Structures are given as structure tokens and as C-alpha cells.
Structure 1
Amino acid sequence: MLVFFNDNPRIPLRVFITSRVEEHIRSHLNVPGVRLDNLVDHCSDDDITTFLQILFEDGCRRNLVVQAYVQQHGEWPNQSDKRKLVEHIGGSFIFASAIFKFIMGANTESSPPTTPMNRLPLALEMNPGLDGLYVHTLSRSKHLPYFSDIISTIALLGAPLPTSGIAELLGIHTYEVVNVLVNLQAIIQVPGTDDIPVTLCHTSLRDFLTTQDRSGGFFAHPSHHVRLFICCIEYELKLLRQNPGLFIGSRERMPATAYYTLRYSFTHLARGRGCFKLTEYDSAIRLCRKALALQSGNPELIAVLADTIRHRAIQTRSLTDLDEAISLAREALEFRPSPHPDRSISLNNLGNALLGRYRLTGNMAGIEEVISVYREALELQPLSPLDRSHSLNNLASALLDRHRRTGIMGDLEEGISLLREALEFRPPGHSYRSDSLCNLGNALLDRHRRTGIIDDLEEAIYLFRKALELRPPPNSLRPLALISLVISLPAMYKESHTLSHLQEAIAHCEELLESYFTAGRQDRAEWLLELCFLLQMRFHATGQADDPSKIATLGEEANRLLASFTESTT
């Protein structure tokens, strides 16, 4: 066709391609006479309004339930609801079609009977009522190769990647990514070319995929961050073997996937915490060392190696690992003298390693250096909101550590102030908001213990509850919020004598034992004894008949565990 038009340039004919242009086709269209563009960027609200008007007119004529509703109540959907739908759809005809099908869809045996009028508010609010739409759409591709890996990757990426980038990161072919996504265009925006990022039609899809009790078999497990982190390092090593000078110089000409791995490997390392096996840390460290052997002066690679070793040290309590992490972090910092724009990041990385060593050794000189390093990181400008929130949390954490050793109230007050500011940088929906909620709650709990201020205890419990809501099972950080509540709720019960506080603490402690400190774990004994203590408090308050037998059973198990631990250490 292109040859024909080249030979006959005066023919007044234009070809409008509306389907996805695959790479093998696009390569032939890369000529001056062809213009490729993304249709979504040119869809107006008027276009979507007209599209919906036609769909609803036709659909309502065919639906007897809607006809009966209109006769009694008047126009449906009304003008207000139509405007809300158009705003929600955001220019995507594919999503408009999917929303319409959801609203007008027939009932099935597996779903409760509802009418189109019932389903319209669910579509407008984008609440879990649309989970059925997501399940139905995702099911179209779930049988395809690499489906779970591709969907989990899209859900957990720190920034969108094109289909080619997703394929490169996972070590598969681009056509295999496209094969999965082509059936999902009602909920995932698949671009017209292989170099434009894949995006979600609505962020509610990410919420769905990362909430296990909603997504079920489609759940993007946090452990996939481990896979993505190792994939990032493997990809960097592959590129360095092909071109040892790739990461040197300007990043503007760097491939998108290469830039992503340098920028976001830290994100996957951090968000995968609690999911890494020791062997996975070992594998990642070996890959980092191989990459550094090919480009020894790369500060990003040095920093990634340092942080990976630090994370392993947290798991193994290895002082040798921490010392190496500190040495590497200092080396990376030397590559970023002031006023290097990434110096604050290197300072925070060094501070993290130093703080890890302090917590292992308790050396007071160590905490002083940590605070000094974190203060310098915070004072550096400019800092992005993300970097500033990290710096605020880091400095607050170090000050609170020093407060717990010295009792200096000024450190505690400054720490609380910094944590409040950090929380402002992490509004609802922010991936680290639950961390900030817990950090501030623990600081307020510390102040309550020192001052007896009830308002601090009440606010701490409120913050812990909010953090727990953001950490549904199997979130690896959920037990930290549970522990905070198990500690703080009995304190509130002693102040208020409100039984619900004690009952809630018991429920959370039981979850800790059932799901986290399970049979066979040595640290289970501590929480068995804690539950005994809580049940004893309840028995004194209520005389609940079965509490004494529960206390006896739990106490016997705890004593057996403690005895076996004593025998193993003598």
C-alpha cells in the first residue's frame, strides 16, 4: 500500500488505523507520509458523551426493567450521572464500553440479582463493585503464558514501562506481553506502539490487584518485588556485558528500561522487605558484584550493592555485612560531592547503614554520626517530596533512638515534629503512608509513657489502626502494626476500663500467633505469654469461664518453648 501511494502521491486518500499498531507493522510505517498518534490523547468529552448517549438509548430500548423505571421515575441515566460518567471515563472509548457493559450487564448465577440502576452508582464511585469487571476482564488472559508475571509487574512497577520494557525486564518477548494485554484493553491502556508506557485506565485496578481478599488469584503478591529487584540487576548486568560504558555520561540517550532499573531497583528492594529469602539476597549480591566488576565507578551500582548487603545484615545480624555496607555507602558518597543533586540520597543510604550498625552494637558515637549525616541530607536542597519524606523519617528515627538511650525530651519532641511533617508528604494512597502512620504512632506512645498524656495514647491507637487497614494480609509489615496495637490497647484499657480495648488487643494477639509467630518459631513464646497476660486481665474484669483453661494451655506451650531454647544454648 505504501509503495502504491509513493508512486501515486496525488491520490486524495487517507488511511485511519484504529487498532493497535504492532512493532512489525510500525517499522514499515516509519516514513514521512505516515503519522502515528494515540487516539486517547484526542478524544473529547463531547465524543464520549455522544458515544454513551447512543449506547444507553439502544440499551434502554432493549431492557424492560429500565423501561419500567423510566416510566415511573423519568430519564435514566439523568444528566448529572451522565456528566459524572464522562468525567470518570477520561477519554477512553474502550473503558466507556466496558463501563456500559458493566452497568447494563445481565445477572449471573454466581452474582446477586441487581438492576442497571443499582450498578450505575458502583461505576460512578469506582468502588469494589467494579471488582467483577476486573475479574471478568482479567479472566480472558489468565490462561496465557506469563500472565501472572506480567500483571503483577504492571501493578508493582515504580513507573510505567512500555510493552518492550516489561518484556526486557522479565526476560521474555514483547509479543508475549502484547498477547496477554490485548484482551485487557477495557482496563489497561495498551498504547499504539511498543515504546509508549502501558498504563491503567483507573488507579482502582492497582488497588484491586494489590488487595488479596479482593483479587484472589490475580493478587500481585509483595514477593514479586523480590523478582523485579533481581530482574533489574540481571538486566543491568546483561547491558554492561554488551556495552561496559553504557551508564557513563548522559542518561537522556539511555534505553528506558535501563533508566528504570537504575532509578527504581531501590524501590523494589525496599518494598520487598520481609519477602526476601537469604538465598535471594545472596544471589542479588553476586549479581551486583559482577556488574561492578564491569563498571567499578558507577555510584548507583555501588549504592545498590551497599543497600542489599545492609538488608541481608538486618536479617542475619551480621556486623561484617554492616561494615561492608558502610564502606560501600561512603564510597558512593564520594562520587556525589556537594552540590551533586543525588548527594542527599547517598547521605541517607550511609545513614541507614550506620543506624543498622548502631542498633547492633549500641555504640553511642555511632548514633551521633547517624544524626549528623541525616541532618545534612535533610538540609540539602532541592529535595523532592519523596526524598524529603524519607529524610524526615530517617532523622526522626535516629533522634528517637538517641532519646531511648538518653531520655532527652528534646529529641522526642523534635522526632514527633519531623514525623508529622513527613506524614503530610504521604497523603492517602501513598505507598509509604502506613510506615509514617506507625512511626508517628510509636513516637506518641513513647511520649505517653514519659508524660502520661492520654491524648497521645488515643492518637497513637488511631494511627496504628489506620496503618493496619493499609496492611491487609499477607502484607509483610502487618505484624508491626498488630504488635503496636497489642502494646497500646491494654494501656488504654487501664485508663478507660473500656472492655472493647482489651478485646481488640486479644484479637490482634491471636492473629499474631495464628499467622506470624506460628508453631516452631522460638519468638512465639513471647506472644504466648502476652496473650496469657491479656486473658488474665479479661478474666479479672469479666470472669469469662474459659479463660483460665486457655491461659493454662498457652502457658504450658510457652514454657516448653523456653525450656527447649535454654537447652539448645547450654
Structure 2
Amino acid sequence: AIDDDPNISEKVLREQFEKLLLNPLFGVGQREETARRVIVIDALDECGLEDDIGTILRLLPQVQKSTSVQLRFLLTSRPELTIRLGFEGIADAHQDLVLHEIEMPVIEHDISLYFEDQFQRLKQRRSFPSDWPGDAATKGLVDRAVPLFIAAATLCRFIDDAKWNPQKRLEAILTDQSTYVSKMDSTYIPVLKQLLTGQNETESRTLLEEFKEIVGVIIILAIPLSINSLSHLIDRELEDVQCRLDQLHSVLSVPNNFDTPVRLLHLSFRDFLLDHHQEKSKFWIDEKVCLSVPVAGSQSLMVLSSEPEASSRPSDEKATD
């Protein structure tokens, strides 16, 4: 297809899809056994244009028409709004798996294997005993990383920095989780920046104020609250709170049920937003300001002590063991 059309990369996505994938797929002759192949598309949310993401998701189900090759796609992505809306449009053609909803022992096991592999590589490059860093240290790292592999990867990069002693870096993490918080910039800043994409100065200022007010309450309170309770507490319309949280599924567990608590996916997000080293960042949240949020009436005060569905956040407990 490329030989026939050297400029195909400049064509619209639909034409590229048909010429590079669909037509060759349909051209495969029949076989006694149907061939099975899997194509992995990693980090779909990082695709340059939102419209392209929607187009890709609409095109992929067309491969099901092939009778000679059974082609499946494994996609990974943050649950950004564009991604979620795209999958809603092909509800009958996909199955989804939400990482933080998988049973915790499964996630812990997988992240433990990841740490073991990374430390094995480190030991091959640097002089460390074969049993380093030990089961207890590995478990401590797993507890701090679950349920996010990106947190585990950040920890490994922090420990394996060639300019520092890995053992001392490891000890620093195990004694003080905030040690590596500043390293989470590359994880959280892209998620937060997309909140302001396409907004003018006035709109951006309003969005930032609402973000700090809503998310500030979520990360400060020891007891997680539902969207309903949050809207009462800060005296904002339910739809406004929902709209802001709808852009933050990558860092918060935002339930469809407005009476179910909103939870942090990982404690490092809280530490990152409150980190004084981030004071110059437009997303930095001042803890003192959050603690002085005006409470809208006596009913809101009752929410803090009598939230019926509130319970401690499992990811926070893991991170602070």
C-alpha cells in the first residue's frame, strides 16, 4: 500500500486505515484454521488530536468482518473523557478492564514482579548482593505503588538514578514517601494541563478556582465524600462538581453513582498537589485555604460526621503503611 501511495501518511485516518490494514486483511485467503493475532495500542490517550482518538475507536471494530484472520486489539489508556465517550460509541464491540477495580492481590502480585525484574536489571549493572533489596523492602515499595504501575516505574527511576546510592534512595522512600513526590510531575502535569486546553484566560482562571476548591476538599478530608455531599459542602451545583470531576478519572476514582464516595487512586496525587515545591505551579493547592472553605449551612457540617457510605480509602491505607 505504501509503494502504491507514498504519501499515504498525509491522508485522513479513515483512508490510511482502509489501505494499510483493512484491505490487506480482507485480501488474506481462507485457511483451514482461522489465524489469531493481537495488536497492542499503548497510551491511546496520548494520541495528538481528540478527534483522531474518536475516529480510531470507530474504525477498529471493522476488522471483525474478516473471516480469515481473527484480529484483536489491546488498548491501554488513561480514562480521559474523550476515551470514555469513544468506547461508549462501540459498547457492543469491546470489553473493558479498569485497573483500580481489579482485585488488589492481583495488582500487588503484578507490581511485585515488576519491581523484581527492575531490581534484577539494576543488580546486573551495579554491585549489589543477589538478595538485594530483600522481601520486606520490595513489599514496602509495592504498598506505596499500588494500584498504579506508573508509580512503581517512578519509584524505580528514583532508586536507579546513577548519580545517587540506590540503597540510600530506597531507604529514603521507605521512611518518607514525600521523597519522590516531585518526580511525579511527568505523571500528573499532563493530566492537569488538559483541563485548560482550549480555554481563554478568564475561563482558565475560573476552572483553576473550581479545581482547587473541589479537589482541595477531596484531598484534605480524612473521610471521602460523595459528589452529592461535596456539592452541599462547598455550596456548588451538583452538575458543576460532576463536570469538573469528569475530567479527572485518571487521578480520582469518580463513581457514576452520586452517593458513592470519590476516592484518590493514589496518595501521591494528594502529596503532589500540596507539595510546597509546587507553589509556583498553577495547580498547587494551599492546604490552609482548603481547611478554611466556608461550610454551606448546618446540613453540610453534618456531612463530615455522618456520611453513611464513607469509609477509609484503601489506596491511602496502602500508601501509608
Give the TM-score normalised by structure 2: 0.50
Bigger share in helix: 1
Say which structure, 1 or 2, has more relative contact order (CA 8 Å, 6+ apart): 2
Bigger share in strand: 2
- Rg: which structure is higher? 1
Give the TM-score normalised by structure 1: 0.31
